[in-house]
Amino acid sequence: MKEGKVYVTKDEKLRVEIVWLHHDMPIAEHGGQWKTMELVTRNYWWPGVTKEVKQYVEGCDQCQRMKNRAEMPVGKLRPNEILEKPWQHISVDFIMKLLVSKGYDSILVVCNRFSKMSHFVTMTEKTTAEGLARLFRDNVWKLHGLPESVISDRGP
């Protein structure tokens, strides 16, 4: 006994069963690491009890699938607006890490969202922002003018 608590010997099977009883039983409701720790240490103690409870809860499939995330809700998806004429709204993406061919290893894909017409421009992975602007000017803007909006998944 340690401070009125039952000392659990170095019996791995017994320790796992104690944690299971205080975590997985319907009355415990998969309470998470701290609630399970509090329930176990009310009556039991052994060296490393905190570490073992943490490992058990982190390995619990149901807890991992059901745990609350600390992130803010993303919000509702908004559909893209209905388009009226070509080349006013475009999407831009890159195909990277290709085998080198004629000195190029990437492709800039510019797609007209109205008609789905696309331009595929060869480039290198080392192309700078200024170089990308030149590629856009020489391959898209000179043919179709400046678009009203550009959708890309590359961030700023």
Structural domains in the chain plus CATH codes: 6-66 (no CATH), 89-151 (3.30.420.10)
Determine the average pLDDT of the residues in 90-110.
95
State the average pLDDT over residues 40-55: 92
Strands, E assignment, 82-147: 89-95, 106-112, 118-123
Q: Is the pTM of this model over 0.85?
A: no
The predicted model gives 27-39 an average pLDDT of 84
More confident residue, 116 or 73: 116
| pLDDT at residue 120 in the model | 97
Contact 45, 8 (CB under 8 A): yes
Does residue 66 register a pLDDT over 80? no
User: Is 155 a residue whose pLDDT tops 80?
Assistant: no
Q: What residues contact 60, with CB distance under 8 A and at least 6 apart?
A: 23, 24, 30
Q: Which of 27, 86, 37, 82 is nearest to 57 (CA)?
A: 37
Instruction: Give the pLDDT confidence score for residue 65 in this predicted structure.
Output: 77
